[in-house]
A and B are shown apart, each in its own frame.
Chain A
Amino acid sequence: EVQLVETGGGLVQPGKSLKLTCATSGFTFSNAWMDWVRQSPEKQLEWVAQIKDKSNNYATYYAESVKGRFTISRDDSKSSVYLQMNSLKEEDTAIYYCTWGYPYWGQGVMVTVSS
């Protein structure tokens, strides 16, 4: 069974940093392209970032809204993907989902940016 479990969310002040972790199981993680998608309090879904596999040189892609502030990375030995979020803004407040392709989504983790 495919499982994606996000952790690391919480309340953080504007300008601060937070790192999300997505631990996975049930599939060959080393071959997988992984994404982060977030959902705003208004329920709008927004793709955030993608990381490809080793055969694609771990290429990364970002939404314009987070480029330069967020970094996606992975550890194939731990079957985990990460999202390092720096210089957080109030508009980054959302539920963050880890996804494997289009079918598989984690349960999500809440990130609240507020003073």
Chain B
Amino acid sequence: DIVMTQAPLSVSVTPGESASISCRSSKSLLHSNGITYVYWYLQKPGKSPQLLIYRMSNLASGVPDRFSGSGSETDFTLKISRVEAEDVGIYYCGQLLENPWTFGGGTKLELK
């Protein structure tokens, strides 16, 4: 199985500042079709995970453009510019290149 490793475990951010979350996969997530199958989710307290970024760098519908995704074949970054109170929650990266889907352990974002 592909192992997804996230860092840090938690991050505390002042509103208006930016935050970055890293994710590393144990295998390249770049398919031969040129698509990198890494996804980012935010789970707000008491809610199910919601999609933020798909295929490494594509913003999901309705997601503010303060969120952006980037990376290479095995190293990925989610950046949140101008953090707001509504961004609080747990962020997960996940790979959908092959079964079984696997997810990182999560990064908890809190406000200072």
Decide whether A and B assemble into one complex.
Answer: yes
Query: What 1/0 mask marks residues of chain A from 48 to 73 whose CB sits below 8 Å from any chain B CB?
Result: 00100000000001010000000000
Query: Which residues does chain B contribute within 8 Å of A14, judged by CB atoms?
Result: none
Min CB distance B46 to A, Å, is 10
B25-33, B73-81, B98-106 - interface stretch: B98-106
Min CB distance B108 to A, Å, is 9
How many pairs of A and B residues are in contact by the CB < 8 Å rule?
40
A18-26, A77-85, A86-94, A101-109 - interface stretch: A101-109
Q: How far is the CA of A46 from the CA of B94 in the complex (A)?
A: 10
- Report the contact-size class of chain B (Cβ under 8 Å from the partner): 20 to 34
Q: How far is the CA of A92 from the CA of B16 in the complex (A)?
A: 40
Min CB distance A1 to B, Å, is 12
Query: What 1/0 mask marks residues of chain B from 80 to 99 whose CB sits below 8 Å from any chain A CB?
Result: 00000000001010101001
Asked if B60 and A44 sit within 8 Å, CB to CB, the answer is: no
- Report the contact-size class of chain A (Cβ under 8 Å from the partner): 10 to 19
Asked if A108 and B100 sit within 8 Å, CB to CB, the answer is: no
Closest A residue by C-beta to B61: A103
Q: Is B67 an interface residue (CB 8 A)?
A: no
Q: Is A29 an interface residue (CB 8 A)?
A: no
Query: Which residues does chain A contribute within 8 Å of B102, judged by CB atoms?
Result: 47
Contact of A47 among B47, B50, B101, B106 (CB under 8 A): B101
Q: How far is the CA of A42 from the CA of B26 in the complex (A)?
A: 22
Closest A residue by C-beta to B39: A102
Q: Residues of B with Cβ closer than 8 Å to A?
A: 39, 43, 47-51, 54, 60, 90, 92, 94, 96, 99-103, 105-106
Q: Which 5 A-B pairs have the closest CB atoms?
A: A47-B101, A45-B103, A105-B48, A103-B51, A47-B100
